[in-house]
Amino acid sequence: MAGGAVEEIVRRAGGCAVIDGGFATQLEALGADINDPLWSAACLITKPHLIKEVHMQYLEAGADVIISSSYQATIPGFLARGLRLEEAEGLLRTSVELALQARDEFWKSTLRKSKPVYNRALVAASIGSYGAYLADGSEYSGSYGEDITTEKLKDFHRRRLQVLGSAGPDLIAFEAIPNIMEAQALVELLEEENIQVPSWICFSSVDGKHLCSGESFADCLRILNTSDKVAIVGVNCTPPQFIEGIIRELKKQTKKAIAVYPNSGEVWDGRAKRWLPAECFGHKSFDVLVKRWQEAGASLIGGCCRTTPSTIRAVSRILKGRTAYTASHQI
């Protein structure tokens, strides 16, 4: 099936493709206020030019895949902001279009240079979990309460998936999915809606051994393996020290390509509203770990929250052995 585009970019990248880094993180670094129920997606309304700028910075850093700004862009979220349905759906499409425009402009400018060191990037349309929409902590606990069912989760995801899927992305990226019920809902929905764009489904983990819900990767992979529509599985927004172990576990459970894009290891203190230092090691170790992740079997590697274009420049340099990137590789 359509997973060919993924194999192609992994091959062209020399065996391991580079995903971009923290999108919201970099948006904030450029001055956006993301302290908002819509989080980074608020910029689709207020500052779309900054969204494109972030994409450009990650492309410049060497990303082979960029992820759209739609992580926390939901139709109910936009309606609650007072927008009309057509406007809400238009903003979802805009998120993909901004990434496509950045990719196309960057690729055009690269082709003009004599020795291109870049690949033509793929655009992945981001879809965050139901918990990300609730913004009540369940994104990282996986506890959606007694009343939630697979059918309800499908209904929550259905329209956004249709709109984003038809906006022209190369991939759909389900990010930081915290429990098996949601994974099951997504697999069923991709079938029911007959989505032709290949997907990745990435989970988050707070202990390195289970999904955030406490459920096992093995049980989860059994469900994902049944779907041809899921081209890639993996883990994101999880501390870097857990990644190698998780890749080894996923490798035992699936033949699908594996994507990993951990956060920086810093921990968000929700009460104090600030990031606490990484628990196990300093920032630089991210560089050291990238090779190990590739050796353990990851085919796509990038960064999530609190990683930046510098991180991705380093990841790209390490994976592709390119000397073209001269900037500091500290994150």
**Using CB under 6 A as the criterion, which residues of the chain lie in contact with ligand MET when the complex forms?**
22-24, 40, 67, 71, 126, 175-176, 237, 304-305
Site for Zn ion in 299-328 (CB under 5 A): 304-305
Least distance (Å) from ligand MET to the CB of residue 224? 19
Residue 212 annotated as part of some ligand binding site: no
User: Which does residue 23 touch among ligand MET, Zn ion, none (CB within 5 to 8 A, set by kind)?
Assistant: ligand MET
- Each residue 262-301 as x (binds Zn ion by CB under 5 A) or -, in order, gives ----------------------------------------
Q: Smallest distance from the beta carbon of 200 to ligand MET, in angstroms? A: 12
CB atoms within 10 A of CB 102: 22
From ligand MET, Zn ion, none, which one binds at residue 71 (CB under 5 to 8 Å depending on kind)?
ligand MET
Minimum distance from CB of 23 to ligand MET (Å)?
Answer: 3
Instruction: Look at the block and give the residue holding tokens 């770990």.
Output: 289
- The binder of 67, among Zn ion, ligand MET, none, by C-beta within 5 to 8 A per type, is ligand MET
Interaction partner, residue 181 (Zn ion, ligand MET, none; CB < 5-8 Å by kind): none
Q: Considering beta carbons, is residue 34 or 109 the nearer one to ligand MET? A: 34
Q: Is the CB of 115 or the CB of 199 nearer to ligand MET? A: 199
Binding partner of 131, given Zn ion, ligand MET, none, CB within 5-8 angstroms per partner class:
none
CA distance 34 to 30: 11
When the beta carbons of 26 and 111 are compared against ligand MET, the nearer one is: 26
Give the nearer residue to ligand MET in terms of CB position, either 178 or 198.
Answer: 178
Mapping DSSP onto H, E and C, the string for the chain reads CCCHHHHHHHHHCCCCEEECCCHHHHHHHCCCCCCCCCHHHHHHHHCHHHHHHHHHHHHHHCCCEEECCCCCCCHHHHHHCCCCHHHHHHHHHHHHHHHHHHHHHHHHHHHHCCCCCCCCCEEEEEECCHHHHHCCCHHHHCCCCCCCCHHHHHHHHHHHHHHHHCCCCCEEEEEEECCHHHHHHHHHHHHHCCCCCCEEEEECCCCCCECCCCCEHHHHHHHHCCCCCEEEEEEECCCHHHHHHHHHHHHHHCCCEEEEECCCCCEEECCCCEEECCCCCCCCHHHHHHHHHHHHCCCEECCCCCCCHHHHHHHHHHHHCCCCCCCCCCC
Q: How far is the CB of 116 from ligand MET (least distance, A)?
A: 26
Of the candidates 302, 297, 215, 210, the one whose C-alpha atom is nearest the C-alpha of residue 262 is 302
- The entry of Zn ion, ligand MET, none that residue 126 binds, CB within 5 to 8 Å by partner kind: ligand MET
| Residue 220 known to bind ligand | no
Cβ 276 to ligand MET, closest distance in Å? 16
Give the nearest distance from C-beta 182 to ligand MET in angstroms.
Answer: 14
The annotated binding site for Zn(2+) is made up of 237, 304-305
Interface residues with Zn ion (CB under 5 A) are 237, 304-305
